[in-house]
Chains A and B, each alone.
Chain A
């Protein structure tokens, strides 16, 4: 710790000189010219600002207007059945604000009011039931932070480096604090005696939108940690995240987190719906597909520096930061390499991560201005180490589309510009 502090103090002094060419602050310090932002009276320090009711529900200040979701138009046929990407490169901490959390719709985001909302439980239950939204608010509820990652996140990168930005390579993910009812509590309300032996039973969940996206979840998971959620980050779910009620399936692929949840059916076999056969299955190199690949394995990415977040301050102190997560539990460690995987340093975790939630990591370092090949690798509580792209390809080939949790590489040039690359 002491050694590090000394290093960074020296680096700070050197860094100040190094960036003198680029910024006024540096120049002013070097030439002894006072900074007019300080010496001159500024408008905002003299005139009054906005009144309290100017924006009854606030949005980010206009200077942050580029921190928004973006889509990649050529990926899908229509924005109604498409996906966009969380601006993870520009965020810090772990919680994703709902307004910039990625969206994935199969038939568009719908407006469904609490008054019009109905949730049915039927199938192999003792008492098929219908709940209103008000009914749901009377069940005991819990708070949990979980990541939701689309199985296709990083899917464009199987065959090679494709998209230039952490937002586009890794932005099909968000992390929110959910308030919801354990699904087992609702199943208990309907009664499972009729279902008999639960070990081979399934719960089929379905949305109210035109796609009626439906997925089969094994009973064991349904009784474990699945939530029927109606709040995220303290407020109602946004329309695009399934208002008024969505399913939360911790650690498992985002497609199962059915939005606008309208029906829960206990069945004696998987429905094998379109989204669990023709999509969200993984073709390996031998042409055989894997199905029921629900868990999202441990993964990480450096969010800054990254192609959308170049280093603009020159040499000296540099915060390398990123996100790590695992569908198997907690992240226990993240290592960072600056040389493409020849050597690794263990990063600092922002705080001990929750199980199946995003964990923030930092490597506080001193950049000497030489090019870097930045990588991060996550290790989770099962001891699983995030694999390289080559390790994944060796097992699966390049046609898998989903579940690409490979180590990502950013090339950072002497100018601080970062680019998505693959390395040997």
Chain B
């Protein structure tokens, strides 16, 4: 493909606009005449190609342009044919820029253009070692990914699984599967930690990536990753990918007239759905299928309406918005369950460290033993500075700056009672 857009410039721009006009009068006959014209135009263009080469020994690029022009005219012809009974046409192609938008400022580009390419272009200067990485990882990542990058619950496993890709259930981790190290750096830097994306420093990101490589036994504990040695690192599964080859493997084999009758001798049911949807007191729930097919599943959705009216509505709404900062780890409301953090129904004025079934860190167990309570004061202090108020907490959240958000959040949480 040559420079498609620059071509649009003189000749095609004109042709496209002429075509646009032609649809305005489109009747079947006129369309046919248009097609004839275009057919002639194609022939002329072909002649032009030949003469251009002969006459002036124009640059090869020129010929390429004319070629593409012919293709474009053919496309226009096809479009004209399909639309000749119709006033519809695609948006016009413009010769020049429309002059819309404004130049991007260099600082704006620097702020947003932070992606890192497989060859390391885009990396900022910096470095991080495995041990620093472990500290940062435990602090920032372990609540979902586990202290050893082994994954918690349904959250991604980052380490292990080497040589399992051909197994029945392959374990696809950064170590066993990811072909480029840049992907890990880029993703962690831009999109992690979950719920606080974009808050890691470059050195922290280098350190975390170094630790993940260590967790995968791909480097020793003295490894230091930096922008200088980054491009040299070859991933374990670097050669484990090929480009989409469905067109060769499948398409040619699966084209053609399919069988319409007597295609098989008999058909048996070999497997039945594993999960039946018993559903909806409060959302989709699946159970394992031990039932006979004669038990029809029942569907319906219960309406859950949280009625908070009057002057509290605004505060409730503000609290609901503030809670988004928490919702990657905490659930509240009907059916809320413990996940990365404890479920928060009834948390306001409840005993600290007492949510059923949640495994708390030491400081919470101490507070529970002392009979401490999540009153307004304790909650305010904790939400403003989690690690300051509860040293040693595993909660990775950095705290809320705005007192109004904290107040709204507490008011919001206070509306949910223990179920």
Q: B-contacting residues of A (Cβ < 8 Å)?
A: 65-66, 68, 70-74, 76-78, 80-81, 106-108, 120-123, 127-132, 135, 138-142, 160-165, 168, 181-182, 184-185, 187-193, 196-199, 204, 206, 210-212, 214, 219-220, 223, 262-263, 265, 267, 269-274, 277-278, 281, 283, 285-295, 297, 307-308, 310, 335, 339-344, 373, 377, 379, 382-385, 387, 391, 395, 398-399, 411, 413, 415, 417, 419-424
Contact = CB atoms under 8 A, between A and B. Distances in A.
Contact of A373 (B259, B269, B294): B269
A223 B3 CA distance: 11
Interface in B209-241: 240-241
B276 interface: yes
B275 A163 contact: yes
Interface stretch (B38-46, B191-199, B346-354, B368-376): B191-199
A335 B257 CA distance: 12
Closest 7 CB pairs of A and B: A287-B166, A340-B267, A140-B91, A77-B154, A287-B165, A420-B273, A128-B104
16 contacts: A65-B301, A107-B328, A108-B328, A122-B104, A123-B113, A139-B100, A161-B271, A161-B272, A165-B277, A210-B197, A273-B183, A287-B240, A291-B243, A307-B297, A413-B294, A424-B267
B339 interface: yes
Interface string B11-42: 00000000000000000000000000000000
Given A164-B297, A343-B262, A422-B269, A271 B117 contact: yes
Interface in B143-171: 144, 153-155, 165-170
B244 interface: yes
B165 A342 contact: no
A286 B166 contact: yes
B290 interface: no
A269 B117 contact: yes
A80 B115 contact: no
B356 interface: no
Given A78-B154, A399-B168, 17 more contacts: A65-B303, A66-B301, A80-B327, A107-B195, A130-B101, A130-B102, A130-B105, A182-B90, A271-B117, A274-B183, A286-B166, A287-B167, A291-B243, A340-B264, A391-B254, A417-B296, A419-B273
Contacts of A204: 115
Contact of A291 (B116, B241, B296): B241
Given A277-B179, A292-B243, A341-B267, A335 B191 contact: no
B244 A292 contact: yes
Interface stretch (B51-59, B245-253, B311-319, B377-385): B245-253
Nearest to A377: B258
A308 to B, nearest CB: 6
Contact of A383 (B170, B240, B256): B256
B166 A285 contact: yes
Given A66-B299, A71-B284, A423-B268, A384 B254 contact: yes
B272 A197 contact: no
A237 B317 CA distance: 23
Contact of B112 (A120, A141, A288): A120
B269 A421 contact: yes
A131 B180 contact: no
B192 to A, nearest CB: 9
Q: Is chain B's binding surface mostly helix, strand, loop or mixed?
A: loop
A274 B187 contact: yes
Given A344-B260, A385-B258, A273 B112 contact: no
A123 B183 CA distance: 19
A214 B359 CA distance: 36
Nearest to B163: A287
Contact of A424 (B251, B270, B283, B284): B270
A140 B117 contact: no
A187 B263 contact: no
Contacts of B69: none
B159 to A, nearest CB: 13
B101 A265 contact: no
B267 A184 contact: no
A107 B194 contact: yes
B3 A198 contact: yes
B270 A206 contact: no
B255 A383 contact: yes
B108 interface: yes
Contacts of A281: 241
B283 A70 contact: yes
Contacts of B8: 188
A379 B258 CA distance: 9
Given A66-B300, A73-B283, A377-B258, A339 B267 contact: yes
Contacts of A141: 91
A161 B233 CA distance: 42
Contacts of A391: 254
Contacts of A287: 165-167, 170, 240
A387 B154 contact: no
A263 B113 contact: yes
Interface in B318-348: 324, 327-328, 339-340
Given A122-B113, A142-B90, A399 B169 contact: yes
B197 A70 contact: no
Given A185-B91, A383-B256, A163 B98 contact: no
A189 B179 contact: no
B1 A220 contact: yes
B286 interface: yes
A272 B243 contact: no
B358 interface: no
A192 B97 CA distance: 11
A34 B243 CA distance: 68
A161 B302 CA distance: 28
A206 B197 contact: no
B89 to A, nearest CB: 9
B387 interface: no
B113 A265 contact: yes
A73 B256 contact: no
Contact of A182 (B91, B179, B197): B91
Nearest to A265: B113
A411 B268 CA distance: 11
B186 A385 contact: no
B296 A310 contact: yes
